[in-house]
Amino acid sequence: MSAPGLHIVIGEDDYLVDQAVKKAIGDCAAVEVVDSLNATNADLQLADLRRADESVSTPPFLEPSKATWWKNVGFLPGGKASEDVKTALEKFAAKLASLKLPENQRFVLSGPRLLKTSVFAKRLAGAAQIVSFAAEKPWDTARSAVMRATEFAGESGLTFAPGVAEKFVSVVGADARSIASEIGKMRDYLGEEQNVIKAEDVAEVTSPGAKVEAEVWDVTDAIGNRNSAAALAALKKFELQNGFAVFMSGVIEKFFRQLLDVKEGRTGGMNPYAAKKNAGFASKWETPELRAARARFLDLREKVVSGTVSGDVLVVTTLLRVMRRSPTHR
């Protein structure tokens, strides 16, 4: 059973990590911080470990409660560390696992990554309360960012109009701190009288976040605009990801299906923002082109899913082929 005062928080999104740490620290009167952000060699790393050890080994005396936060520990197993540091970390983990912290004391360790199969992690698995924000693939990150934006908006008493959460995230990016900041700015902009975030509100006040990255819709937007160079540049952001061909062939096939639906008047199940945006894209394509493009990517997806072909290169070559303008639509 985990000790109530011992917490491990792992993740690369500093905002999510900070929020989890604040929750773990709670209302402790005194917080001692050991920051290993600049611990770039073994001597500095071992020195920080000793400071963290000394702090957790010293119970609160003058204060009613105390917390130790050892933060930015980038040399946990899964990161880069010398054998001496690895050994010292394993010994420290064993000590932490055996500690019986008093009710008025907490110890929190946070870092970007931790190898779950390491000795360090296994020794703390049953002793510490562990929160881990796993690294995500780009397409999962996009979905998570929309969910997070919706959650943060709800906490501020706001909701997004249909399709606008996706537009918001396409501007802000997936960084949680940036999303929270922009939601706060949106709350101030709308005032207390308006609680629905509309597309025009996003266009008016939302700014790119600190860690904006290309998302899946960068690819589909470029395809919709028939901009081959932009489409290839966006695809390169995803090419090294496992499952690239399966995922991207599915995304592109679905996009052509949506454009075909717009072209043929089947927009009943599409949210208004997406329908309007896709109508602009569809105007740049002929109906036979869209049918042919969808058929090619449907066929490609079936082949890469079944393992008949290795489709990473075929995604690119098929896309370039379908994006050529027909003689009657130049």
Q: For the chain, which domains are there?
A: 6-133 (3.40.50.300), 138-205 (1.10.8.60), 216-322 (1.20.272)
Tell me: pLDDT of 11 over 50.
yes
* Average pLDDT, integer, range 300-329: 80
The SS3 call for residue 108 is strand
CA distance 165 to 159: 9
Average pLDDT over residues 247-254: 89
What distances in angstroms separate CA 179 from CA 149, 188, 205, 220, one per listed residue? 6, 14, 13, 23
Question: What are the tokens at 102?
Answer: 């008093």
d(CA 183, CA 76): 33
What percentage of residues in the chain have a pLDDT greater than 70? 91
Chain segment 172-211, per-residue pLDDT in tens = 888 899 999 999 999 999 998 899 999 899 988 887 776 5
Are the CB atoms for 291 and 314 separated by under 8 Å?
no
User: How much is the pTM?
Assistant: 0.59
pLDDT tens digits for range 257-289: 999 999 999 887 676 767 888 999 999 999 999
* Whole-number pLDDT of residue 29: 87
Q: Pull the structure tokens for residue 186.
A: 């949106």
Burial letters 196-219, b for 16+ CB under 10 A, else e: ebebebbeeebeebeebebbbbbb
Handedness of CA 202, 205, 206, 208 (dihedral sign): positive
Instruction: Kindly state the tokens that stand for 164.
Output: 């606008």
Amino acid at 290: L
Rg of the chain on CA atoms, in Å: 25
Query: What does the alpha-carbon distance between residue 58 and residue 68 come to, in Å, rounded to a whole number?
Result: 10
Average pLDDT score over the chain: 88
Inform me whether the pLDDT recorded for 214 exceeds 70: no
Distance CA 165, CA 19 (A): 22
Residues in the chain: 330
Q: What is the pLDDT of residue 70?
A: 98
CA gap 38, 47 in Å, rounded: 12
Q: What is the pLDDT of residues 149-167, one digit of tens each?
A: 999 999 999 999 998 998 8
HSE of 11 in the Cβ direction (CA atoms, 13 Å)? 19
**328: pLDDT confidence band, cut at 50, 70 and 90?**
low
Across the range 236-250, mean pLDDT stands at 80
Enumerate residues 6+ apart whose C-beta is below 8 A from 93. 119, 120, 123, 124
Q: At a CB cut-off of 8 Å and minimum separation 6, what does 20 contact?
A: 9, 11, 110, 131, 133
Q: Can you tell me the distance from the alpha carbon of 67 to that of 70, in angstroms, rounded to the nearest whole number?
A: 10
65 in Cβ contact with 27 (< 8 Å): yes
CB atoms within 10 A of CB 112: 18
49-53, 54-58, 301-305: which range is least confident on average?
A: 301-305
In the structure encoding, which two tokens stand for residue 34, read together? 């050991």
Round to whole Å and give the CA distance between 10 and 16. Answer: 10
Kindly tell me if the per-residue pLDDT of 330 is higher than 60: no
